[in-house]
Amino acid sequence: MGILNVTPDSFSDGGLFLSADKAVDHVAIMINEGADIIDVGGESTRPGATPVTTDEENERVIPIIEAVSQRFDVLISIDTSKAEVMEAAVNAGAGMVNDVRALSEKNSLQVLAEMSVPVCLMHMQGQPGTMQDKPAYEDVLAEVREFLAERIEICVAAGIDKNRLILDPGFGFGKTQQQNFSLLNGLESLSIDGLPILAGLSRKSLIGQTLGLPVDERVYASIALALLAVKNGASIIRVHDVKATCEAIRMFEAVENERSITI
Q: Which residues bind ligand 7PJ (CB under 6 A)?
A: 45, 79, 98, 100, 120, 122, 168, 170-171, 198, 200, 204, 238
Measured from the CB atom, is 45 or 58 closer to ligand 7PJ? 45
Are 2 and 35 within 8 A, CB to CB?
Answer: yes
Helix, strand, coil percentages in the chain from 3-state DSSP, rounded to 5 = 50, 15, 40
Measured from the CB atom, is 236 or 246 closer to ligand 7PJ? 236
Paired with 96 in beta bridges are: 77
Measured from the CB atom, is 62 or 122 closer to ligand 7PJ? 122
- Whether residue 218 lies in the annotated active site: no
Measured from the CB atom, is 21 or 105 closer to ligand 7PJ? 105
Closest contact distance (angstroms) between CB of 215 and ligand 7PJ is: 9
- Whether residue 106 lies in the annotated active site: no
Given the residues 164, 238, 250, 259, the one annotated as active site: 238
Closest contact distance (angstroms) between CB of 120 and ligand 7PJ is: 5
Which of 206, 210, 252, 211 shows the shortest CA–CA distance to 230? 252
Measured from the CB atom, is 19 or 98 closer to ligand 7PJ? 98
- Burial of residue 145 (CB within 10 Å: 0-12, 13-18, 19+) is buried
Which of 38, 160, 184, 32 shows the shortest CA–CA distance to 98? 38
Taking residue 189's Cβ as centre, other Cβ atoms within 10 Å add up to 14
Closest contact distance (angstroms) between CB of 63 and ligand 7PJ is: 21
Cα 249 to Cα 65, 190, 228, 234, 256, distances in angstroms: 27, 21, 10, 12, 10
Q: How far apart are CA 99 and CA 88, in angstroms?
A: 15
Q: In Å, how far from its chain's centre is CA 211? A: 23
Q: How far apart are CA 233 and CA 229, in angstroms?
A: 6
- What amino acid positions are annotated as catalytic residues? 204, 238
